[in-house]
Structure 1
Amino acid sequence: MARFAGKSALVTGAASGIGRAVAEWLSEEGALHLILVDRDAAALDTLKLRCRVDRIVGDVADEALWDAAALPDLDFAVVNAGIAGAGPIADLDFAEWRRILSVNLDGAFLTMRAAMRAMARRGGAIVAVSSAAGIKAEPGVAAYGASKAALIQLAKVAAKEGAAQGIRVNAIAPAGVETPVWDTVPMFATRAAEIGRDAAFAEMAKLATPMGRYAKPIEIAAQIAFLLSDEAAYMTGAVLISDGGYTL
């Protein structure tokens, strides 16, 4: 079923993980044109899709990148680019706080602003990729959790502001997903080096998630596709929690 036949979409953080899975999903479902944004030019180039692709290489938190970006006839946007980090508040450097907030919140704002401007005359749908960490408090993730909680609120405000223009804005809040972002988390990187990535994911999931596993990126991509699609035409300002029971 080509739910997105003839449509155009912007996807940030498209070189890996959830963003890459979303780009592949949209292409398979008939998208005509994808605008893919990431800092990793080499990884973006490895994406082989069935549609026209424009690649934008750079930092989503760079306003100049968005000032120069061409977003014609945009139907959808997936605000996905993000980074991880950990550390207790008392030990957290302000520079690290700003690094995480810059990408996860400033970058999300700039992406959403650009998308809403591009959709102003024809409407569209936006999905912001938040996290269960923005809903459930855990020690050591103050910067990441705060950025993702703020993103949920940003999406809700955008939903109210965009409704009159036919722009729907929803958020998704996954918990553990098997993506490369985990490689930047020292605890996971250390354990993965000891027992392997698959075993490290399985070990963490059994401890943290009632369902006993983490999601695959393609599972989250399918849920994002639903939120973008006409099947979710009456949904805006919603937060879809996809966490295997983590927030219970």
Structure 2
Amino acid sequence: MSFDFSGKRVLVTGAASGIGAACAKALAKAGADHLALVDIDGDALGALDLPCAVTIHTGDVADPALWERIEADGGKLDGALLNAGIAGETALIAKMDFSNWRRVLGVNLDGLFLSLRTAMRLANDGASMVLTASVAGLKAEPGTSAYGASKAAAIHLAKGAAKEGAARRIRVNAIAPGGVDTSIWDKLPMFADLVEKHQGDRAGALEEMAGYGTPMGRFESAEEIAGQVLFLLSDASGTMTGTTLVSDGGYSL
């Protein structure tokens, strides 16, 4: 399926890598006129080299001052992918440091609220938005409660925004991926141990992880998720709003 975003101005958070970068590239390829890209890694944003007008906003999505600057810059939005997030440390609730809980919720929920608030304020009538949730927000696993709670909240936040935006035909949906091959895994000690077990074979480590509970036996690529995000942002998704597209290889079954 091909999409046409000609003349559209779209906000993408967490755009420097992974799903965010894949979506920024896909939107530019689909003809987006202007992309407003947000990430804490400004150098990586600048290296994307996209074939459209780009405005780069560098900063922490959980910092209200960042969003005050973005709103002051102006520019109405036809779409938004609110994707910035972190995984945090894997820890059982009884052993989790409160600082880890706050760090994850700070980025994944506070940052999501602030970015969604700005997107709703700048949205044109008929705009479409996608919040990046996770299958972890639907299916609990030991050690992932901070991340899972933040993503469950993202799913509900999308529903609330969808109901509030409906009068202006603003659509807000969430996407809940399962395992996706992105650099977020490389920041987790448990994944580093798995790569070492596979003698440096990252693909082998991902395959083993997929085998733990994903019936289809593989993780998706960021580019596959980008195609699904563009569907939700486009007119092809019709009146879909307040929904969560689960793309997890059967993990949640």
TM-score after normalising by structure 2: 0.95
1:223 and 1:155 mapped to 2: Cα distance?
16
Task: Kindly tell me the number of residue pairs found equivalent between the two proteins.
Answer: 247
Kindly report which structure 2 residues correspond to 1:211-230, keeping only aligned pairs within 5 A, or say none.
211-230=216-235
- Residue 106 of structure 2 is aligned to residue 102 of structure 1: yes
Question: Which 10-residue stretch deviates more, 193-202 or 218-227?
Answer: 193-202
The one-letter code sitting in structure 2 at the alignment partner of 1:221 is A
Q: Does 1:111 align with 2:115?
A: yes
Distance 2:223 2:174 in 1: 17
Q: How many angstroms apart in 1 are the aligned matches of 2:171 and 2:143?
A: 33
Pick aligned residue for 2:172 from 169, 174, 190: 169
CA distance in 1, matches of 2:28, 2:252: 32
Q: CA RMSD in A?
A: 1.0
Instruction: Write the letter of the residue equivalent to 1:243.
Output: D
- CA distance in 2: counterparts of 1:226 and 1:68, whole angstroms: 30
- Write out per-residue CA displacement over residues 81-120 of structure 1, whole angstroms, 9 at most, x where no aligned residue: 000021100110001000000000000000000000001x
Give 1:71 deviation, angstroms: 4.3
CA separation in 2, counterparts of 1:64 and 1:55?
A: 15
In the TM superposition, 1:98-177 aligns within 5 A as 98-119=102-123, 121-177=124-180
1:2-30 per-residue CA deviation (whole Å, 9 max, x = no partner) reads 51011010000000000000000000000
The match for 1:65 is: 66
TM-score scaled by length of structure 1 = 0.97
Summarize the alignment of residues 1-248 of structure 1 with structure 2, pairs less than 5 Å apart: 1=2, 3-69=4-70, 70-85=73-88, 86-119=90-123, 121-195=124-198, 196-248=201-253
Match of 2:212, SS state, is helix
Note the residue ranges of structure 2 that are not aligned, 5 or more in a row: none
CA deviation digits over 1:26-59, x for unaligned, max 9? 0000000000100111211110111001111100
Give the distance between the partners of 2:85 and 2:252, measured in 1 at CA: 21
Quick one: distance in 2 between partners of 1:158 and 1:234?
A: 14
| In 1: Cα distance, 2:230 partner to 2:142 partner | 32
Cα deviation for residue 231 of structure 1 reads: 0.7
User: Are 2:135 and 2:248, in contact at CA under 8 Å, matched by a contact in 1?
Assistant: yes
Structure 1 CA distance, aligned partners of 2:219 and 2:3?
28
CA contact (8 A) 2:3 2:230 kept: no
Give the distance between the partners of 2:237 and 2:26, measured in 1 at CA.
Answer: 17
**Kindly tell me: are residues 2 and 177 of structure 1, through their superposed partners in 2, closer, same or farther at Cα, counting changes over 3 Å?**
closer
Q: Tell me, which stretches of 5 or more residues in structure 1 are unaligned?
A: none
Once residues 240 and 197 of structure 1 are traced to their aligned partners in structure 2, the CA distance between those partners, rounded to angstroms, is 27
Q: Whole-Å Cα distance in 1 between the matches of residues 196 and 32 of structure 2?
A: 39
